[in-house]
Structure 1
Amino acid sequence: MSPLDQANRGQRNGALVHKHAADGRDRCTGVGNSFRGVGDDVDGNHTAEHDEKFTRDEKFTRFVISVRPGLRRSAYLLCGDWHEADDLVQNTLLAVLRHWDRLRWPEVAFGYARTTMYRIFVSDRRHARWRLESVRAEVPDRPAGGSGETNIADRELLLAALRELPPRQRAALTLRYFEDLDVARTAEILECEPSTIRSQTTRALATMRLVMSKYR
């Protein structure tokens, strides 16, 4: 299955998650009203079953709402394109959903989501041999305008330089300096030795300085 097909299937499954959450609310409400006073055992068992599902779906929905913006920003730094970033985040959240029952605490779930997203990115770029960023914007000329325009150009220049890096170096830099993780945690997420992270970070920074110096 192609990455695009996987992304489309992920979007359909993601929509189903939210639909089930809404259905769970409706069914729980309906059960409570319809069986009131019928039989305590029957009512209690039936309601508990639906309440458990409702609680699970509601917690996952709240989790998605809270973490998706941050994951999307990180994914954009990795992909350099908002559409690819959305696909990466969607696939990440589907992976979280598959393991949701054992991710009992929000901190654990977020750590798992972040780790999964970076590993999906590196794996897909390595095995699918995605093209270099054909969607990348041209490196901007420095404007003659005021400080606001200068800041925008600096940001675009930084993103363009970041997109020049190989996927693993891009991931290492994003984890170290955007996510603010230490070398050991970055190495754990990218499944390599800390010394590898240090060398990749050094090479990545040197490449970015060289790229940016050409346009200053």
Structure 2
Amino acid sequence: MAEARDDGFSRYARQAWPALRRTAFLLTSDWHEAEDLVQRTLIALHRHWDRLERHDRISGYARAIMIRLVYSDRRSHRWSREVLHELPPEPEPPADPYTLVVDRILLMNALAGLGPRQRAAVVLRYWEDRSVEETASAMGSEGSTVRSQTVRALATLRTALTAAADGTDAAAPRNAEDAARAAVPGR
């Protein structure tokens, strides 16, 4: 009896495999995932093979099992959105060991261009990771002063670092007004 059952199921599986695989591909958009889905569908179908009364409608039942498995996979996050490629991506090129040194020098030069209060605000807030209140206490000023000094200092640093990255001189006047201010002594 068990051999007749297995023979009937084996015949059905061989005959239905191509059609089930096409349906599985349409549901998953991936041939490998489709193969897995058909196998899981046939395993589930084999468990109920003895209880099936109408073997002429077995393909519809198999498709229903397949769809329930897809829904179950997506609900349980088993479904993967990974996209497989034939070749692995190019490895990251080795980092230039001097890049960090150059970046550090550029940052230190930009910090040196800040006024003492702005530099203190930036160093205390970002290097030492202090709060506005702690920085204000250390600088002997108010929190609003620390915030305004920090905002101005960061704007100056951005300008200096952008100019350094572009290879331009950040100290050069950007417009006629800056040039006029630079020409007046004592300003």
If the length of structure 1 is used for normalisation, what is the TM-score?
A: 0.37
**Bigger-Rg structure (1/2):** 2
Higher helix share: 1
- TM-score, structure 2 as length reference: 0.42
Work out which structure has the larger RCO, using CA pairs closer than 8 Å and 6 or more positions apart in sequence.
Answer: 1
